[in-house]
Structure 1
Amino acid sequence: MEMECLTEFPHNHMDRHPRKRPRMAWDVQPPLKAQLGLSCGQEVGDVTSFLSSSAPSDHTCSSVNVKGLARNGSPPWREDDKDGHFMFAVGENLTSRYKIYSKMGEGTFGQVLECWDRERKEMVAIKVIRGIKKYREAAMIEIDVLQELATNDKSGRCVQIRNWFDYRNHICIVFEKLGPSLYDFLRKNNYRSFPVDLVRELGRQLLECVAFMHELRLIHTDLKPENILLVSPEYVKVPDYKASSSSSRSPKDGACFKRLPKSSAIKVIDFGSTTYEHQDHSYIVSTRHYRAPEVILGLGWSYPCDIWSVGCILVELCSGEALFQTHENLEHLAMMERVLGPIPQHMTKRAGRHADKYVRRGRLDWPEGAASRESIRAVQRLPRLQNLVMEHVDHSAGDLIDLLQGLLRYEPSERMTAREALRHPFFARPDHHPHHSHHRR
């Protein structure tokens, strides 16, 4: 339910609308291809490995029962599309248990469908994986990770898997239904920044999730605003004094108000790239804007690559826009130097064979190696980290800058851990205990 009320909050706390909401499970688009029968998966309570070749069935596949066909019958069999995505129509069944209400999103892995769970009488989000071997294999690993998280998750910060099954050659993972991602929320807000007190609440929960994962020896590797969901879609509109003082915007386009989530509760999603500590860590990970320097330089990576991503995310929540908006490695490294100062020579000198072309005489080959003048200008336009924060944050700026400098240290071994970050003074405000953050005062 979208709410527009301006009186929810006392004026002296106008900038404090923390709302923690886990983002729904993925932007995925489900390929809907099927053999007539379906092999059923198991409810999450059953911890047998998901990597076993046959999935034990713990609910009846009644779509094949003649009795249930009128209401719960199987949809017609269809070919997948050319990319292996499941083809479906709204209103059809996905097994006899789930009815498809809408498509919530899509991604390289498949689609996410909003469905009604007839058994539990609730809406769920089902990630329908493309019917292609490598995506199916990745989905089985993700299910294993989700199981482990569900068994251990005391933080409540990871999206909950409800069930999984294999339907017409598509692995389907059933999740609790959450609200929009932080990225979607920013986008609908015309990329206006969040107040620093809300950033504090979001950052605390995100770091709680990362600390919990790292203690299980898991590395997420793809933290970004798209993979952090608000638990609830409700928001309020509050006056946006910065926007309303700008004569270039007309009041008609809603520029005088901005949205704030009613609750600051969030959950992290998309464990499709999650890796265990002991696995090979030489390949490229993370979505570009949130990728750590050691990944780009080919130096190997571990838990600290998640911490770098958290730093980039916190800056983006404060400013409204991604910190490093680039698609090219050398430009990306040059942007880091512009915002954070020079990369240590011991890192540039050790650059892997694919990255050594960005380095000359132990330093970044910039601006000499720049692809264009526009690229050089894009780097020059960036402010230093301190200036960027001061421009957008009205209080707590000193603590936030100090925290970000710890999260965005070049040398991975010197970067803060998630637990260290949670003890930072930025999070030490006693009136903002995480478990009470959604109670308004």
Structure 2
Amino acid sequence: MQTAVYAMPPPLPSQFSQSAFNRSLNGNPNTLRTTLTTRKRKRPQQYTVSYSEVQEVDSTGKVRDVIVIEDTPPPSTISSANSPISPADSRMFTASYQPPVYAAPIRTRARAAAEAKGVAGTSSTVQTQTPLSKKRRRDPADDTGAVTKRPAHGMQYAVSAKKPYANGRGAPRQNQAALPKDAACDDKEGHYIVAPNDIIKARYRTIRLLGQGTFGKVVEAVDLQTQQRVAIKIIRAIPKYRDASKMEVRVMQTLQQRDPRNTHKCIHLLSWFDHRNHICLVSELLGMCVYDFLKENEFAPFPRQHIQSFARQLLGSVAFLHDNHLIHTDLKPENILLVKNDYRTVQVPVSGKTPSGRTRTSMKKRILESTDIRLIDFGSAIFAEEYHANVVSTRHYRAPEIILGLGWSYPCDAFSLGCILVEFYTGVALFQTHENLEHLAMMEKVMGKMPERFAEQGARSKPEFFTKEGGKLPSLLRVTDPQSRKDVKACRSLEQIIPPNDSINCQFLDLVKKLLTFDPTERISVKEALKHRYFSTHVPNEF
């Protein structure tokens, strides 16, 4: 590790006290300038990949050297391979199923992001930012206020000049001497370079890349000791992601100790280790995430019987977390894995046109053979008594109290679950937005007007989002951007989204309403939601 050399002031003669020296310095301001002459340093050269050398002092007084890498934008997500298509089933749907109408292109989150980018130059009352690509972890960059992370307790940092890596590629490895000089295991963003038949930790042979996100990569591998296939989550060699992964290990070990038989359907950790400066988490190999299944199924909604099964499992998993004083904070379809990808295909009639403009009378719909799921990604989970960041959750599933800066706790998970259940029913995200004021306006269009007490709290915390009605009651500002007004106007109320035309929909609508409540103190808890009459209602098989 290189060190910067500074010219130090000469020691004071013993006959001079510190106070006398200070008085002489005050009398002649040039004294220090003539006595302490520092050497000018050249401006450090700029490199494409750079890091900072950091000395870290923990609570025990031990000093260690760490590397801080400049962060990079999140890479795009790679979907996992499809499972083989099973033979088509000739059974048709029942009248209770309402297929999607193809009169216009389906507005997905990716399309919403593209539209937001297209109107970035238009005028608006609140400054907007270009939306980022789809993420697996929370990202406060899409909010108007930046979030500052506090360092770990007992840590002190001293940053020196920046330099490139010796190999010029990415994060340094723990045992560089044992590797060939031309070996490069990282790319410039700190991601592990995955290659088929690569041996990790002398035990796991990689097969293929399953997915990639901001946190790192997930690969399929064979355990050479047991000959079983596993999934390995390889974290980026960047300190903040390494720290988050260690928190994830701690959470997963806690959950596994308290639920060894996995009755609560949270993914179990088989092992973890540090490989070439990458934290690796080994777990069982499961199917694709629910979002990828929706995407490959052309965003067709799930059957109502499957929605009930998903809801019961998810509420049970989150209730287990809350019983152990944990808040997931990043619930979304991407963090829900199917245990198996097997499905059958049925032909269902539809009316309208396809996104390309062609008339369509029927479509193929995939029906899962099994609805077993597992809750994953505890890298953002936090114990209730520990430090809470200002902004958590992925934008589309973020609770209103987080947007308004009112603090958050267990109820934010319940709100995210409400958004997810509506997405299962319609096939697309409930709130497709990338801007705070537009998001709140959409909530009022879907959930009804914000309660007076909650609006008053929000107006005190975020006055830029509110105005005064008659000089007394706070009211949410109206969006002025034309595209935002159009998007908000296109939102439908929960009664329109889930028409209460039978007892199943009536009970489902009532549950969703209680989950999607503005005030977190009045929002139903996940344990109370498990006792809702919706779960005692029989839902027949529609296919």
Aligned to 1:403: 511
Which residue of the other structure, out of 428, 432, 435, is the alignment partner of 1:328?
A: 435
| 2:454 counterpart of 1:372 | no
* Structure 2 counterparts to residues 82-161 of structure 1, below 5 A: 82-153=188-259, 154-161=262-269
Note the C-alpha offset of 1:106. 1.1
Equivalent-residue separation in structure 1 for 2:445 and 2:476 (angstroms): 14
Equivalent-residue separation in structure 2 for 1:385 and 1:125 (angstroms): 38
Note the C-alpha offset of 1:247. 5.5
2:227 counterpart letter in structure 1:
K
Aligned to 2:409: 302
Cα distance change, pair 431–387 in 1 and its aligned pair in 2 (3 A): closer
Deviations for 1:267-301, whole angstroms, at most 9, x for unmatched residues? 11100000011123351010000000100011101
Cα distance change, pair 322–204 in 1 and its aligned pair in 2 (3 A): same
Cα distance change, pair 139–162 in 1 and its aligned pair in 2 (3 A): same
Note the C-alpha offset of 1:360. 1.2
| 2:494 counterpart of 1:385 | yes
Aligned to 1:363: 474
Cα distance change, pair 352–94 in 1 and its aligned pair in 2 (3 A): farther
Is residue 308–residue 407 contact of structure 1 (8 Å, CA) maintained in 2? yes
Aligned alpha-carbon RMSD (Å)? 3.2
Cα distance change, pair 144–381 in 1 and its aligned pair in 2 (3 A): same
* Structure 2 counterparts to residues 227-242 of structure 1, below 5 A: 227-241=335-349
Q: TM-score, normalised by structure 2?
A: 0.65
Structure 1 residues without counterparts, runs of 5 or longer: 16-25, 39-63, 65-72
* Structure 2 counterparts to residues 212-291 of structure 1, below 5 A: 212-241=320-349, 243=350, 245-246=351-352, 248=354, 256-281=363-388, 283-291=390-398
Is residue 32–residue 78 contact of structure 1 (8 Å, CA) maintained in 2? no
Is residue 171–residue 238 contact of structure 2 (8 Å, CA) maintained in 1? no
Q: How many corresponding residue pairs?
A: 385
Note the C-alpha offset of 1:6. 3.4
1:344 counterpart letter in structure 2:
P
Equivalent-residue separation in structure 2 for 1:89 and 1:354 (angstroms): 50
Equivalent-residue separation in structure 2 for 1:314 and 1:372 (angstroms): 30
Cα distance change, pair 330–302 in 1 and its aligned pair in 2 (3 A): same
Cα distance change, pair 27–286 in 1 and its aligned pair in 2 (3 A): closer
Note the C-alpha offset of 1:246. 3.7
* Structure 2 counterparts to residues 38-117 of structure 1, below 5 A: 77-117=183-223
Is residue 32–residue 87 contact of structure 1 (8 Å, CA) maintained in 2? no
Residue 408 of structure 2 aligns to a residue in which SS?
A: coil
Residue 383 of structure 1 aligns to a residue in which SS?
A: coil
2:488 counterpart letter in structure 1:
V
Runs of 4+ residues over 6 Å off in structure 1: 8-15, 73-76, 249-254
| 2:245 counterpart of 1:163 | no
* Structure 2 counterparts to residues 309-320 of structure 1, below 5 A: 309-320=416-427
Is residue 91–residue 346 contact of structure 2 (8 Å, CA) maintained in 1? no
Cα distance change, pair 255–176 in 1 and its aligned pair in 2 (3 A): farther
Aligned to 2:289: 181
Is residue 282–residue 300 contact of structure 1 (8 Å, CA) maintained in 2? no
Note the C-alpha offset of 1:355. 2.5
Equivalent-residue separation in structure 2 for 1:98 and 1:34 (angstroms): 19
2:485 counterpart letter in structure 1:
I
Residue 413 of structure 1 aligns to a residue in which SS?
A: coil
Aligned to 1:425: 533
Larger Rg: 2
Aligned to 1:2: 84
Deviations for 1:89-112, whole angstroms, at most 9, x for unmatched residues? 122111211011111111111111
Note the C-alpha offset of 1:88. 3.0
Is residue 230–residue 282 contact of structure 2 (8 Å, CA) maintained in 1? yes
Which residue of the other structure, out of 421, 428, 451, is the alignment partner of 1:344?
A: 451
Equivalent-residue separation in structure 2 for 1:352 and 1:217 (angstroms): 30
Equivalent-residue separation in structure 2 for 1:394 and 1:331 (angstroms): 32
Equivalent-residue separation in structure 1 for 2:480 and 2:230 (angstroms): 46
Is residue 183–residue 225 contact of structure 1 (8 Å, CA) maintained in 2? yes
1:363 counterpart letter in structure 2:
P
Is residue 282–residue 298 contact of structure 1 (8 Å, CA) maintained in 2? no
1:211 counterpart letter in structure 2:
A
Note the C-alpha offset of 1:366. 2.8
Cα distance change, pair 87–283 in 1 and its aligned pair in 2 (3 A): same
Aligned to 2:60: none
Is residue 406–residue 461 contact of structure 2 (8 Å, CA) maintained in 1? no
Cα distance change, pair 258–93 in 1 and its aligned pair in 2 (3 A): same
2:443 counterpart letter in structure 1:
M
Residue 220 of structure 2 aligns to a residue in which SS?
A: strand
Is residue 75–residue 92 contact of structure 1 (8 Å, CA) maintained in 2? no
Equivalent-residue separation in structure 1 for 2:480 and 2:87 (angstroms): 49
Residue identity over aligned pairs, in percent, reads 40
Equivalent-residue separation in structure 2 for 1:89 and 1:102 (angstroms): 8
Cα distance change, pair 352–158 in 1 and its aligned pair in 2 (3 A): farther
Note the C-alpha offset of 1:119. 1.4
Is residue 444–residue 450 contact of structure 2 (8 Å, CA) maintained in 1? yes
1:300 counterpart letter in structure 2:
G
* Structure 2 counterparts to residues 202-213 of structure 1, below 5 A: 202-213=310-321
